[in-house]
Structure 1
Amino acid sequence: MIRFLTVLTFVLLSFTARSQQKVTINGYVKDAANGEELIGVGVYIPQLKAGTVTNAYGFYAITVPPGSYEIVFSYMGYTPYTYKGELTTNVSQNIEMETEAKVIQEVVVTEKRVDENVFDVQMSRNTVDLARIKKLPALFGEVDIIKNVQMLPGVVSAGEGTSAFFVRGGSADQNLILIDEAPVYDPSHLFGLFSVFNADVIKDSDLYKGGIPPRFGGRLSSILDVRTKDGNNKNFGVTGGIGTLATRVAVEGPLKKEKSSFILSGRRSYADIFLKASGEETDIYFYDINAKVNWRQSNKNRFFVAAYAGRDVLKLDDQFGFGWGNMTATFRWNHLFNDKLFSNISVIGSNFDYKLEIEDEVQGFKWTSNLQELSMKADLSYAISANNELSFGYHLTGRRFSPGEIGPNTEGSMFTELKQQHMYALDHALYIGNQQRVNDQLSFDYGVRLSIFQNMGKGYVYKYEDPQDPIGKNRTDTLHYDGWETIKSYVNLEPRVGIRYMFKEGQSLKLSYNRMVQNTHLVSASTVPVPFNTWNPSNYYLKPQIADQFAVGYFRNFKDNMFEASTEVFYKDINNVTDFADNADLFFNEDLSTEYRQGDSWAYGAEFMVNKTSGRLTGMVSYTLSKVERKIPEVNGGKTFDANYDRRNSLNIQAAYDLNPKWTFGASFTYNTGRPITLGSGKWEYGQYNPDIITERNGYRLPDFHRLDLSATLTPKKNANRRWKGQWIFAIYNVYNRKNPFTIYTRTKQDDDGNIIGDGRQKEARLVYLFPILPSVTYNFKF
């Protein structure tokens, strides 16, 4: 580490010495109406044919030779702004951009520069367009970022009723989901009907599928980076909506005009209220709260505090209940050391927990589990010149894994207290990267991340004669470790590189390679992550998962950037992918290490997308052709098998049409090849026990999945002349009532009345589907 820091210091000093004859202009770019910093604004100097974009905090810095310049700031939905000045010394210049007259005042800040998909070196990144998805159909009227992420190229869904998504052949636990830099381990409400993200408070959302910048790490497949609004620092306002299943409201405004602001939002479902009114003794609801405060001491120091809390509760007949929840908190300090060196210092906390409880005199018990995380991050960027921007930093994360604790909740319960040991881990990361423009055609984005992982005590490790022996598993020794003593360490380098070549205006070819390392593993035997799965760190027996991904893409825009088109081809190779032996015992098993099986996985495919960004008709068409396979010792007899999220074909179409100022119509269609599942090919008998015989992992496929949704949005004319603005959204989910398969299970053969047929030895397969045709009405308001 000392050698790394010495080299880094030398590099910085060298760049500083070489750039002494240059000057720097920097500052923040904001929305003139509400003071929100704008992310991804293009900052371009025509004389030099060079430029940059604002970072995730709305900050820009560009270093140039002294002279007279015109600097153009461009951003989708905003009037371009041109700064003219003589740059002889360093200048700090904040910019406020006005929305275009043709755009309604309620602009959602999610767009990047108009030609970013072609111009930027970064590839395999998609920005979720909130302005458009708010016009599209949504289940029960709740706009959901993750449901729209599932429709992007290279992304497939596990099906209805889940927030799980799979990116380029990776499993769902290989996605890092962040809200204001804090990780969210379960992003679902009501078993995936909704996600934890309230669209009213979201400012920007990016999905990285490949070519991932070195500042990100810890997962193999993707980064979903969601950032919330800072709050209007000029005027107070309230937004919200009343839907079929949930109500939400958000309040924002200045604490001190143009110096500090806040935003506070809440959302709650109310199915439990209707159920109780109908006499049902059932509690089923979710809620979430977002809060954020920011303060600008000066142009050199800005402070942010953000928090999220959400929980799901289900209780049946006062006996059976369970729940899960996420809590996050983020403190950020943006500091400008000098005109070239910008830093973001963050302290981040995250907690994911769940519980399961049965209240009964004999069989009563309570099961709890959680995962806690505390991180400290220092991310810095250095504007070397108009053609080079250096980024570097250090991240430290500590985690405590509590796999499970079960105990009696009544005096007469048959259960005894059982507590699995806590597990601890420290995760260090050092990274450095550079965005370099060689000439008008060629640009690079390259860097490396050094990952140092420590599985820590206090704890113990069992040793076995043969931990992979499915029968023996005899313990031979127990190793004890004190607090903060290292049990196992893993060190990995993660190189990243991206290349962009511009053929001519509006066309580019991009290539990328990245290595990712993951040291947290989901303990699950199911296809879809559910709250009651548990997480484990890399440890004495469990090695880090490592993925290498190569991608190449062609990007082209048409008709003055009205149409964006892209084609990407990728190949991903994963080592030490985690699975479990057939018929593994996963829960409350002190010898869980003997159930681990690690092997190889690989995925490859092609993605196609056409995106129409302007005009009365906007929308997207995406298609993905891909294949995902695994080969793991002692799983499926050691033979190659399809991953249970392998969906060969995925087609998604979204469209929104502005008929007139009052009416907007939306449509969404999705089609996916059926996913593989494991089914019994026969049965065997042992007394009254009649289990299935499993001969092939994922040897069958569910029927294909497809669904059409429609919506209509009514914005009354009177909105334009008063402070209160209302909007009605009418939607139909699953228009043609498709019975899409959620899963298939086997049971003893029965007739239509539930009576067992024959001697009870025959079995049958049953299809489970979730949603028929569902209409909904939502009223949104703002004042």
Structure 2
Amino acid sequence: MIRIFIVVTLALVSSMARSQDKVTLNGYVKDTDNGEELIGVTVYIPELKAGTATNAYGFYSITVPKGKYEVQYSFVGYTSQSVSITLDADVSRNIELGGVAQIMNEVEISERPIDENVIAVQMSKNTLNMSQVKKLPTLFGEVDIIKNVQALPGVISAGEGTSAFFVRGGGGDQNLILIDEAPIYDASHLGGLVSVFNADVIKESELYKGGIPSRFGGRLSSILEVRTIDGNNKRLGVTAGIGTMASRVMIEAPLKKDKSSFILSGRTSNLGLYLTAADTENKINFYDLNAKINWRANNKNRFFLSGYTGRDNISFSGGDIGFGWGNSTATFRWNHLFNERLFSNTTLIASNFDYSFEIKDPIQGFKWTSSLQEVSLKNDLTYFINVNNEFTFGYHLSGRRFSPALVEPNSDESMFERTEFDKMYALDHGIYISNQRRITEALTLDVGLRLSIFQNMGPGKVYLYEDPKDNADPTRIDSMDYKSWETVKTYINLEPRLGIRYSLSDDKSIKLSYNRMVQNTHLIAAGTVPLPFNTWSPSGYYLKPQIADQIALGYFQNLKDNMYEASVEVYYKDAQNITDFADNAEIQLNKNLTTEYRQGDAWSYGAEFMVNKKEGRLTGMVSYTWSKALRQIEGVNQGREYAANYDRRNVVNMNAAFELNDKWTFGGAFTYSTGRPTTVPSAKYEYGSYLPDAVTERNGYRLPAFHRLDLSATLNPRKNANRKWKGQWIFSIYNVYSRKNAFTLYTRTKQDSDGNIIGDGTEKEARMVYLFPFMPSVTYNIKF
């Protein structure tokens, strides 16, 4: 079926292309200094008022009528070039861009053309520029891409000390996080103090919040796509740093100059050294390893092999209590150019996420492990018909194995017996097609469709219940056994996508987008924040796929020769089969977990305002988001409507970097948000001598407002200019005015300042938990 799909599509677009006497200009755009392909470079032909952009692999293709043109190549942070090219036949032209003006034959410096903010059909997408991110303040001196994502409009942070984020009313598990196309199921180190992404190896990262392209599927709310650098193919380079939180080193070099290169990077925490110096038996550490090899066989074939592994290990009480979690991924990619217009990317992916928890005790000792493995094969093709017409299409296949829990005694006297929950298996197919077409000079459409086919597979056993929603006393009445590769349940869904851009003028446009997203993996968690110790489960006999429809409208304008980008977006999202758990649900080690599931409706809407300055000595962003996120699920909050855990009505984010001179750069970041909802007891009742809390409303209370100011200063000594290796100092202050921001709230028996119980012990009080006060940090980086 897939072959027929591809043949028919190619036949269609080929017939359209043959009807016109046109030629194609294509090639790659690279960085002059290190040979890195540049993503998102604008390739623009002023005579035709048309252009394109390099794809995720630095490749571009533009088909135009025969003639002589001035082709402009431009990218933020690089010197633009205008190249005079005579196109009387197909031409392949590779371009190198540098950070300083260069005098070349037939090349002149030009003004940057209209930015992607206005001309691109894609809306609700934010690209994070790593050079800008590295100028901003950091926590513990670690540059963290996730912390910057949390500051984007439409994104809600779960709070300090966590890598979780929520996009346009969606849950933290509804974000697909990718590194070199491989999924990361938990992006946190140390529970969220820093993320798994080492800034040294990141080439570019993009967050899609709406109008999500049809090549993406599997999550409801957002796609965070992180791509790593390929490695310097011109010369040896070493980057290293030591900071308050971690130390790191990266080596990159050519294997064969201009043909192949590699990177090898490692990062490890310094916290173990501090704990040793403090003479404590507690242990806290994490590490990351990134590796990548790429080889250009010729201009039509390029191969990549990349991998990531990272892990956290934490132990307390002299090692008697310990837990750990980690991600491992491997990606093999083959870029192939069939002809000057047809570009293919074939990817083979493997990933693993696992966690463990252990208590070492002669009687109560046990070890609990859980894991999720995924293997995927993807083929994505892009057919560049002409300057006004582009097709993308492909097929994705993923296989997953879910291992919810294995509990083993770790001593002969342990009270625990070996218990293993049934593994679950699933196949996920995705077939998609998309056509971006410029209808008139002002109107451009991007229409796509994705077919999602999900199969819950054997081997496995499905239990039937007298009442599947009776979690108080679940009664099994029968069971069904399924053999290997036997289908337990199949779900088929169509996911239409639509993007419309209408240009009001050269520097103004309005955009409209719609997308339907389907999610077949569900996070088994009762709390607000996704933690490493939560469990993932596939859609199946009882659990239906989650489905969300989102529509967004935006106005986009560039100011002062594209120095400023401004945008306003409004959106509405409606979701069904959203998974939550019944009040007072028992989640952990529950073999009747099916009876705890509850699915219902969720909806969210909001407005996002942003002004972004990308160029000049002063750069930065100001954004404001107003939003609401609501749910209504049978069996939760007595069936009444309630605010989602991440419903924060007002969020303001500001950041800026100012280059005082070639020596000093100063950065600042401020964030404010109204308090998030939380569930607290509203009463208590007596049950013998036991005084349990009574909760009458889900998320009926809000924590205080959150706000914080961070500052940084970066010192690049002038003597760097005269030596091969360059040193850099980064000084940061986190929470400058030491604001006590509430992380969570709990209740306890009322006590005095010394911990003595007040009265008869029946009176209770609420207590706030705060994480980080005023915290300075320093990092020293070297590069050569």
Q: TM-score range by the shorter chain?
A: over 0.9
CA deviation digits over 1:611-638, x for unaligned, max 9?
1112221111000000000000011010
Structure 2: distance between partners of 1:652 and 1:679: 29
Letter in 2 for 1:244: T
Deviation at 1:277, TM superposition (A): 2.6
Deviation at 1:136, TM superposition (A): 1.2
1:645 aligned residue = 646
For 2:200, what is the secondary structure of its paired residue? helix
1:76 aligned residue = 76
Deviates more, 1:321-330 or 1:433-442: 433-442
CA deviation digits over 1:183-218, x for unaligned, max 9?
000000111110011111110100000000000110
1:66 aligned residue = 66
Instruction: Tell me if the contact between 1:75 and 1:113 (Cα under 8 Å) persists in the aligned partners.
Output: no
Deviation at 1:717, TM superposition (A): 0.7
Structure 2: distance between partners of 1:25 and 1:616: 35
1:569 aligned residue = 570
Deviation at 1:66, TM superposition (A): 2.5
Structure 1: distance between partners of 2:300 and 2:193: 43
1:687 correspondence with 2:694: no
2:118 aligned residue = 118
Q: Displaced runs of 4+ in structure 1, greater than 6 A?
A: none
Map 1:234-273 onto structure 2 (within 5 A): 234-273=234-273
Instruction: Tell me if the contact between 1:367 and 1:406 (Cα under 8 Å) persists in the aligned partners.
Output: yes
Letter in 2 for 1:474: T
Structure 2: distance between partners of 1:713 and 1:78: 21
1:604 correspondence with 2:605: yes
What is the aligned residue count?
Answer: 773
Instruction: Tell me if the contact between 2:28 and 2:93 (Cα under 8 Å) persists in the aligned partners.
Output: yes
1:189 aligned residue = 189
CA deviation digits over 1:388-442, x for unaligned, max 9?
0100000000000011111100111111111100000000000000111122211
Structure 1: distance between partners of 2:509 and 2:186: 37
Letter in 2 for 1:183: P
Letter in 2 for 1:355: S
Deviation at 1:16, TM superposition (A): 4.5
Deviation at 1:8, TM superposition (A): 2.6
1:518 aligned residue = 519
Structure 2: distance between partners of 1:433 and 1:319: 55
Structure 2: distance between partners of 1:616 and 1:292: 34
Structure 2: distance between partners of 1:209 and 1:34: 32
Structure 1: distance between partners of 2:15 and 2:764: 74
1:660 aligned residue = 661
CA deviation digits over 1:13-49, x for unaligned, max 9?
4334435x32212111101111000101111122222
Instruction: Tell me if the contact between 1:40 and 1:113 (Cα under 8 Å) persists in the aligned partners.
Output: no
Deviation at 1:7, TM superposition (A): 4.2
For 2:140, what is the secondary structure of its paired residue? helix
Deviation at 1:694, TM superposition (A): 0.8
For 2:529, what is the secondary structure of its paired residue? coil
Map 1:335-346 onto structure 2 (within 5 A): 335-346=336-347
TM-score (norm 1): 0.97
Identity %: 67
2:421 aligned residue = 420
For 2:13, what is the secondary structure of its paired residue? helix
Q: Would the alpha carbon gap of residues 5 and 251 (structure 1) be closer, same or farther in structure 2, given more than 3 Å must change?
A: closer
For 2:82, what is the secondary structure of its paired residue? strand
Deviation at 1:83, TM superposition (A): 2.9
1:108 aligned residue = none
Letter in 2 for 1:289: L
Structure 2: distance between partners of 1:125 and 1:277: 45
CA deviation digits over 1:513-561, x for unaligned, max 9?
0000000000000000111000000010000000000000001111111
1:295 aligned residue = 295
For 1:466, what is the secondary structure of its paired residue? coil
Instruction: Tell me if the contact between 1:562 and 1:612 (Cα under 8 Å) persists in the aligned partners.
Output: yes
Instruction: Tell me if the contact between 2:218 and 2:519 (Cα under 8 Å) persists in the aligned partners.
Output: yes
1:200 correspondence with 2:208: no
Instruction: Tell me if the contact between 1:255 and 1:262 (Cα under 8 Å) persists in the aligned partners.
Output: yes
Deviation at 1:659, TM superposition (A): 1.3
Instruction: Tell me if the contact between 1:41 and 1:113 (Cα under 8 Å) persists in the aligned partners.
Output: no
For 1:11, what is the secondary structure of its paired residue? helix
2:461 aligned residue = 460
Instruction: Tell me if the contact between 2:44 and 2:113 (Cα under 8 Å) persists in the aligned partners.
Output: no
For 2:319, what is the secondary structure of its paired residue? coil
Structure 1: distance between partners of 2:98 and 2:729: 27
1:782 aligned residue = 783
Instruction: Tell me if the contact between 2:244 and 2:270 (Cα under 8 Å) persists in the aligned partners.
Output: no
Structure 1: distance between partners of 2:629 and 2:649: 8
CA deviation digits over 1:562-596, x for unaligned, max 9?
11111000000011100000011111111111111
1:386 aligned residue = 387
Map 1:474-513 onto structure 2 (within 5 A): 474-513=475-514
Structure 1: distance between partners of 2:778 and 2:645: 35
For 2:411, what is the secondary structure of its paired residue? coil
2:106 aligned residue = none
Structure 2: distance between partners of 1:653 and 1:80: 29
Letter in 2 for 1:25: L
TM-score (norm 2): 0.97
Deviates more, 1:604-613 or 1:432-441: 432-441
Letter in 2 for 1:139: L
Structure 2: distance between partners of 1:305 and 1:29: 21
Letter in 1 for 2:443: L
2:677 aligned residue = 676
CA deviation digits over 1:306-338, x for unaligned, max 9?
100100010111200000000011000000111
1:746 correspondence with 2:747: yes
Deviates more, 1:615-624 or 1:252-261: 615-624
Letter in 2 for 1:123: M
Deviation at 1:67, TM superposition (A): 2.5
Letter in 1 for 2:79: T
Instruction: Tell me if the contact between 2:320 and 2:361 (Cα under 8 Å) persists in the aligned partners.
Output: yes
Structure 2: distance between partners of 1:4 and 1:685: 67
Structure 2: distance between partners of 1:4 and 1:347: 21
2:588 aligned residue = 587
Which consecutive residues of structure 2, in runs of 5 or more, have no partner in the other structure?
103-111
Deviates more, 1:385-394 or 1:761-770: 761-770
Which consecutive residues of structure 1, in runs of 5 or more, have no partner in the other structure?
103-111
Deviation at 1:688, TM superposition (A): 3.6
CA deviation digits over 1:93-118, x for unaligned, max 9?
2111122359xxxxxxxxx9861111
1:105 aligned residue = none
